[in-house]
Amino acid sequence: MAGDHRAADAALPLPDGSGLRVVIVSARFNDLVTSQLLDGATGALGRMGVTDVAVEWVPGAYELPLAARVLAERDDVDAVVALGCVIRGDTPHFDYVAGGAAQGLLDASLATGTPVIFGVLTTENLHQALLRADPARMDKGGEAAQAAVEMARLVARVSSGGPIGNDAT
């Protein structure tokens, strides 16, 4: 697959998530897919040593940004993982929902300074979504969780005046 760098990433050690509080916000719409994203995310967080995980549910992907923002504003949250699935249909609805969710989640992260990770699948069909969500296959939920831990560690280190650079630990 062109542009697929998972083999190189697999060699990297998992970040240490011990002591972090991560909140997962998951959309109920397309729950056949989002439940697998959630399984992948919680499994990955466990493997990284995150024991303080909370899950909040929202109706759909369009509602993720508001929930993510109010959670990211809390002092006791180190990162938010937003999980959802938007499958293209015959109308422009896909573009509005996917674009609104993406921009809203980015805005939430930038406004709060807390990592808000975009774990929303935007696919052409259900088959693509299930393949990407499956923790035993592409595990996009697990990838989002790993990004949350990495970014929470980076933000904490840099904002406290710690070292800057790829070799910083």
Residues annotated catalytic, as ranges:
93
Spatial distance between the Cα atoms of 146 and 15, rounded to a whole number of angstroms: 7
What is the torsion angle, in degrees rounded to the nearest 10, for the CA atoms of residue 127, residue 129, residue 134 and residue 136?
A: 70
Beta strands in the chain (DSSP E): 21-27, 52-58, 79-87, 116-123
Spatial distance between the Cα atoms of 28 and 72, rounded to a whole number of angstroms: 20
Which amino acid, one-letter code, is at 127? H
Spatial distance between the Cα atoms of 84 and 31, rounded to a whole number of angstroms: 8
b or e along 152-165 (b: 16 or more beta carbons within 10 Å of the residue's beta carbon)?
Answer: bbebeeeeeeeeee
